[in-house]
Structure 1
Amino acid sequence: MAVTEEISSPPLSPMSAAFASSSISILPVFKFEVPINEHSVIELLRNELVPFNDRLSSVLHTDKKSVQRWRKVDFNVKDLVVAPTFPSGLSPEEYDQHLHEYLSKIGTEVFPKDRPLWEVHIIKYPTTIGGGAVVFKLSHAIGDGYSLISLLMKGFQRADDPSLPLTFPNVSLRPKAVRTNGCGFTLKCFNTISDVGVMMLRGRCLKDHKTAVRSGKPQLHLEPIVVSTINLPLEDIRQVKAKVQGSVNDVITGVIHYAIHLYMFKKKEDLGGDRMTSMAMLNMRSLRSFDNINEMMKAGIWGNGSISLPTPIPTFVPEKHIDRDPLEFVVRAKKSMKRIRDSVLVQFTFPITKLLKRMKGAEGVAEFIYSTLNNTTTLITNVIGPNDKMAMAGYPISDFFYILTGVPQSIVFTVISYIGSLKVAVTMEKGFIDSQLFTLCMKEAFQKILQEACDKDCKGVRNPS
């Protein structure tokens, strides 16, 4: 590829530089109602998506001062589009399985350094809910979930009326102002010192215990994965949210923690005394006085504006398992999120990573992030998606989810909202976690939490799909 110019942009942020040194990628997966034409996808890429941001037509370049920047190159869009061949004559269920195995395969592949850090895979085979699929694979160095969602929304339309813009849930993003008295200030200082210390230890030596959901295997980011997806109705999520007076994040974190609890119990593993931690991704853009997601999308803030913060996963001794109130997991998740807000660790994280980059370079930051994830049990990341049914190049999208690959954990959860549901994708270490059993535990956890939120007399509790 011919180099054209180094785009006028600031140096990569510590987080983007760290992701450039890692193998973490984001894979949005779109399933379509009807078979999709490859030529239509290429034209969309060439005319709409690639021109939207210079990073999509650039490679990483280290300048004379050893600073990483983006450098534009000439390339053919067709070279970044792949149409894999699967066996013919299979059922839609079998093609779904091939799709998930294909996600595992491409998820462990490393991008060549001489071309832009993205590619598109067109699956020309029927699935259980449509006529084909398109998989985008993008390096996390390009941007985080909100950057990439804003990119994809640029080239997508509303399926019912392409002339109208996509809309997003009208949720408040601006943090509530909290008055802090003398005791509150002291608590914040104590929590911050404690949290910074624990964060540094997690990046070095403080490890979660090995359990039925954490193998602790070396080089886990290179291992094959199994992908499972679950749909949770937002209407039911809101019922639980209202019951505990929490947030959607509190509810989904509580459901995941309870599902892990159920899975370990069914695997007959001792639930007492284990140190288990989930890393919850927090979008730093929410601190920039945005009132809602529509404002954030219009602002077009690119890059990596998210950080991961630890949330303890509750564990109980076996004899007390049967007495657990399912809602307790949501309440504990809510308390953990509040505990994070009673600290200024969020504001300290970027200066710490910036200092670490100055001392040890981008590779040092990447090593610290990798070690932090490797030493914890799971990662939970979520993105707010559109209210409206989408279409790409005129083809209606029947389902949409995304996964993270290259993460050194045995189980990872990615969540996005789409037309009335939360789409939860679970990536699990193949051969270690029983994916079918865990999927059943996720559904059971949500049903029990919802039933408890409805005071055990709620009518019409729906099964997750």
Structure 2
Amino acid sequence: MAAIPALNPLKIPTTTNGETFEGFKRGYDHDHDHDQPLSPMARLFHEPGSNVYIVGIIGLKTKIKPDIFKHNLVHTLLRNPRFSSLQGKDKETGSMKWIPTHVNIDDHVIIAKLDPNMESSEKFVEDFISNLSRSPIESTKPLWDLHILDIKTSETEGTCVFRFHHSLGDGMSLMNLLLACASKASDPEAMLPGNTKKSGATKVSSLWSRLSVLWNSFVALVMFVSTALFLEDTKTPMKGSIGERDTEYTNIPENIRLRSTLFFNLRPTTEIEDVTDTSKHGTWGNKIGYALYSFKIGLKKDPLDYVRDAKAVMDRKKASLEPLFTYFFVNLILKLFGIKVAGKLNYKVFYNTTLWFSNVPGPQEKIWLFGHEVAYIAPSCYGQPNALMIHVVSYMDKLTFVLSADEETIPNPHQLSHDLQESLRIIKASLY
């Protein structure tokens, strides 16, 4: 059996002479995205309470060569119009739109300054990312950047920290973007093959299955609307929110309502597409829905019962239209009542739950990124109204759990990481 997955905490609470890029001169068609409005989901990620950034931490076993990264980013990442466009407001309509712009790669690739008196390289990397999450990306340039930490750790020769505003895309589109820029370790000249695996859409093959889907969807609809209107999780030490983090919890009720917001990919496939082909947009953007997962608080004699219960609930979630409903419902509210109302509704659902949970499938074999061997991939987010997010990503035969925790609510995320890791060990031991 594979080793226990790593559990890495991330603490959260943002012109020079470089190579430039201009879409029209590089020869690709900007007309498709020129002055086009942002999608409804992209606009939502600019609303208060949902202004979220994705952080992609990539450990490299090869010493980082910044010039190689810059050169390759110009010819890969910047050929996708989302990464070479500003997000500005239309003066007539007030809506946000993509505006192609000149990009100076040196404005986006930053070499981190190292502290000569650092306690340890691992702690420096952790603190650097935590500090980075406290600031936004300036809207005067495309909303992404790359920070290079030329520092050796126990696992790596250097660390890259990609930062994207969530309006550019969701975890699946950005993972596919990474894979489209990467090559196989077994053949550095060959691109990774496209993953044509279906995304897990609900299959309805019998009357009973159809009734089950309808019932599960109805229950999910009731819970979603109730949560958006009034149904809030129980106040616990883990349910932190702005303005309430100094609350003392002395009498926590026995019947605790503790829920997670789960995010689902709504694409029919997860096929990797050419980043330079602007006629294909299947993997780009934000095509995600979400579902609400209720935890059952209590001690069980058999540790595997936790796994069985979780699987049973997730099977019901998959046999429902809940993720599709949330996606289309938010879009419907936006069209009928505008972005502000949709944003408040979205925020209310997140605010009334306790944590976020997300996962992204990564490469199944070892990869190289611009000639640098990848040791690990660890994505996460910041800007969400919840004090805790758990993100899971696979790479080869290993799972990595990344904890994004607010320090004021969870002052010792390393202890939480240790506790979760110990729980996994107990579950594993019970198999024998």
Q: So what's the TM-score if we normalise by structure 1?
A: 0.77
Structure 2 residue identity aligned to 1:282:
F
2:331 matched to 1:306?
A: no
Give the whole-Å Cα distance in 2 for the aligned partners of 1:390 and 1:185. Answer: 42
Which residue of structure 2 aligns with residue 193 of structure 1?
218
**Which segment drifts farther, 200-209 or 121-130?**
200-209
Give the whole-Å Cα distance in 2 for the aligned partners of 1:209 and 1:436. Answer: 24
Which residue of structure 2 aligns with residue 385 of structure 1?
362
Alignment partner of 1:328 out of 292, 296, 305: 305
Contact 1:14/1:365 (CA < 8 Å) preserved in 2?
no
Question: Structure 1, unaligned stretches of length 5 or more?
Answer: 224-266, 458-465
Give the whole-Å Cα distance in 2 for the aligned partners of 1:173 and 1:3. Answer: 35
Alignment partner of 1:423 out of 395, 400, 418: 400
Cα RMSD over matched residues? 2.9
Alignment partner of 2:241 out of 192, 216, 224: 216
2:100 matched to 1:72?
A: yes
Question: Could you list the per-position Cα deviations for residues 359-408 of structure 1 after superposition, in whole angstroms to 9, with x for gaps in the alignment?
Answer: 33223323222221121111111111002222222121222211111111
SS in structure 2 at match of 1:141: helix
Which residue of structure 2 aligns with residue 205 of structure 1?
230
Give the whole-Å Cα distance in 2 for the aligned partners of 1:219 and 1:364. Answer: 24
Which residue of structure 1 aligns with residue 255 of structure 2?
273
Q: Which has the higher helix share?
A: 1
Give the whole-Å Cα distance in 1 for the aligned partners of 2:429 and 2:189. Answer: 41
Which residue of structure 1 aligns with residue 3 of structure 2?
none
Which residue of structure 2 aligns with residue 59 of structure 1?
86
Change (3 A) 1:370 1:103: farther
Which residue of structure 2 aligns with residue 131 of structure 1?
157
Question: Structure 2, unaligned stretches of length 5 or more?
Answer: 1-14, 16-20, 25-29, 275-279
SS in structure 1 at match of 2:229: coil
Matches within 5 A, 1:367-406: 367-406=344-383
Give the whole-Å Cα distance in 2 for the aligned partners of 1:356 and 1:167. Answer: 39
Give the whole-Å Cα distance in 1 for the aligned partners of 2:304 and 2:242. Answer: 33
Give the whole-Å Cα distance in 1 for the aligned partners of 2:82 and 2:371. Answer: 26
Contact 2:195/2:272 (CA < 8 Å) preserved in 1?
no
Matches within 5 A, 1:76-225: 76-88=104-116, 90=118, 94-166=120-192, 173-175=199-201, 177-181=203-207, 185-218=210-243
Question: Could you list the per-position Cα deviations for residues 422-453 of structure 1 after superposition, in whole angstroms to 9, with x for gaps in the alignment?
Answer: 1110111214323222112111111122222x
TM superposition shift of 1:172: 5.3
2:352 matched to 1:352?
A: no
Contact 2:110/2:146 (CA < 8 Å) preserved in 1?
yes
Which residue of structure 2 aligns with residue 440 of structure 1?
418
Contact 1:17/1:362 (CA < 8 Å) preserved in 2?
yes
Structure 1 residue identity aligned to 2:395:
Y
Give the whole-Å Cα distance in 1 for the aligned partners of 2:192 and 2:244. Answer: 40
Change (3 A) 1:396 1:3: closer
Change (3 A) 1:394 1:309: same
Which residue of structure 2 aligns with residue 8 of structure 1?
32
Give the whole-Å Cα distance in 1 for the aligned partners of 2:200 and 2:126. Answer: 37
Change (3 A) 1:34 1:361: same
Question: Could you list the per-position Cα deviations for residues 331-356 of structure 1 after superposition, in whole angstroms to 9, with x for gaps in the alignment?
Answer: 11112122223432333223311221
TM superposition shift of 1:104: 1.6
SS in structure 2 at match of 1:137: strand
TM superposition shift of 1:81: 1.7
Which residue of structure 1 aligns with residue 52 of structure 2?
24
SS in structure 1 at match of 2:167: coil
SS in structure 2 at match of 1:20: coil
Identity %: 23
Give the whole-Å Cα distance in 2 for the aligned partners of 1:403 and 1:170. Answer: 25
Question: Could you list the per-position Cα deviations for residues 183-239 of structure 1 after superposition, in whole angstroms to 9, with x for gaps in the alignment?
Answer: 65555444433322321232232211122322233498xx9xxxxxxxxxxxxxxxx
Which residue of structure 2 aligns with residue 255 of structure 1?
none
Give the whole-Å Cα distance in 2 for the aligned partners of 1:110 and 1:79. Answer: 14
Contact 2:389/2:403 (CA < 8 Å) preserved in 1?
yes
Structure 2 residue identity aligned to 1:301:
T
Which residue of structure 2 aligns with residue 240 of structure 1?
none
SS in structure 2 at match of 1:447: helix
TM superposition shift of 1:31: 1.3
TM superposition shift of 1:11: 3.4
SS in structure 1 at match of 2:338: helix
Structure 1 residue identity aligned to 2:413:
S
SS in structure 1 at match of 2:76: helix
Which residue of structure 1 aligns with residue 265 of structure 2?
283
Contact 1:23/1:110 (CA < 8 Å) preserved in 2?
no
TM superposition shift of 1:297: 5.1
Query: How many equivalent residue pairs?
Result: 394
Contact 2:199/2:265 (CA < 8 Å) preserved in 1?
no
Which residue of structure 1 aligns with residue 339 of structure 2?
362
Change (3 A) 1:209 1:152: same
TM superposition shift of 1:271: 7.7
Change (3 A) 1:307 1:347: closer
Structure 1 residue identity aligned to 2:223:
V
TM superposition shift of 1:284: 0.5
Give the whole-Å Cα distance in 2 for the aligned partners of 1:269 and 1:422. Answer: 36
Structure 1 residue identity aligned to 2:292:
P
2:66 matched to 1:38?
A: yes
Which residue of structure 2 aligns with residue 226 of structure 1?
none
Contact 2:288/2:323 (CA < 8 Å) preserved in 1?
no
Contact 1:7/1:70 (CA < 8 Å) preserved in 2?
no
Give the whole-Å Cα distance in 2 for the aligned partners of 1:102 and 1:191. Answer: 44
Contact 1:59/1:72 (CA < 8 Å) preserved in 2?
yes
SS in structure 1 at match of 2:101: strand
Contact 1:122/1:135 (CA < 8 Å) preserved in 2?
yes
SS in structure 1 at match of 2:421: helix
Contact 2:290/2:327 (CA < 8 Å) preserved in 1?
no
Which residue of structure 2 aligns with residue 244 of structure 1?
none
Give the whole-Å Cα distance in 1 for the aligned partners of 2:200 and 2:117. Answer: 52
Contact 2:193/2:272 (CA < 8 Å) preserved in 1?
no
